[in-house]
Structure 1
C-alpha cells in the first residue's frame, strides 16, 4: 500500500480518504473505533490529522484491509504487538524497492 501524500504538518480527512482509497466516513469510523487516532479540530470542527495519525491509519488499513483482520482483531494486534508499525513501514519500503526494480527491469534492453 503506497500512500502518496505531500510532507506537511496536517492532512484533511479528504486527503487521507483519497490516499487510502476509502470514503471519508471510513476514516471517521476508524477514528471512533481506535483511540490511537486523535485528529486536531479547528473552530469549525474540521478534522486535521497529524503524521502520527497517518502512521496509525496505515497500521489499521494494513491489518483490516490487507490482512483481513476484524476490527476487534486489529485492536488486539495493535495493543499486543507494539512493533506492528515497524512491520508496516518495512512493507512500504520493500514495496518501493520492488517498484524501483521493476522500473529498472523494464528499462533494460530485451535479450534475443
Structure 2
C-alpha cells in the first residue's frame, strides 16, 4: 500500500512495504534538508536511523513518521525545539500507556474472577486456622 504526501503540488510516494529510506529520500519526502535531519537526530533522541556497513543513515518508517510529526509541530504549529521535544515525550508516554493497558486487558481476559475470589476466601480461611 502506498500513501501520497503532497508537498508544493508534487506527490511523493511513501511505501508501506519499504523497510528503509536513505537520508536523501527522507529529505525529498519530508521537505527537510539533510543537515536539518542530522541536527534533529541530535536533538530528538527518538529519531534513530540505522547505520549499516556503509555508514549511511537508513531511516525506518517509524523514523519517517516521527520526522513528519516533528516538522508539523515546528513549522505548522509553531512549537520551539524544546516544546516539540516535550510534546514527542508526551506522545510516547501516551502510546506506552495504551500498550500497557492492552496487555493488561489481554491477560485479564483469560482469568476467571469468580475462581480467584473463591481461592482468596479459601486462603483467608486457612490463614485464620493457622493463627
Settle same-fold status: TM greater than 0.5.
yes
Question: What's 2:90 paired with?
Answer: 80
Measured against aligned partners, the alpha-carbon deviations of 1:4-48 in whole angstroms (never above 9, x if no partner) come to: 323301000000101111211111111111011011001121000
Q: Which has the higher contact order (CA 8 A, sep 6+)?
A: 1
Q: Which runs of 5+ in 2 are unaligned?
A: 7-11, 96-131
1:6 aligns with 2:15: yes
Deviating 4+ runs (over 6 angstroms): none
Q: 1:81 to 1:26 in 2, by over 3 A?
A: same
Q: Which has the larger radius of gyration?
A: 2
- CA drift of 1:81 comes to 3.8
Question: What's 1:92 paired with?
Answer: none
Whole-angstrom distance in 2 between the partners of 1:13 and 1:38: 12
Whole-angstrom distance in 2 between the partners of 1:15 and 1:76: 27
Write out aligned runs for 1:45-64 (5 A): 45-64=55-74
Structure number with the higher strand fraction is 2
Question: What's 1:38 paired with?
Answer: 48
How many residues align structurally? 84
Q: Which runs of 5+ in 1 are unaligned?
A: 85-112
Calculate the aligned-residue CA RMSD, in Å.
2.1
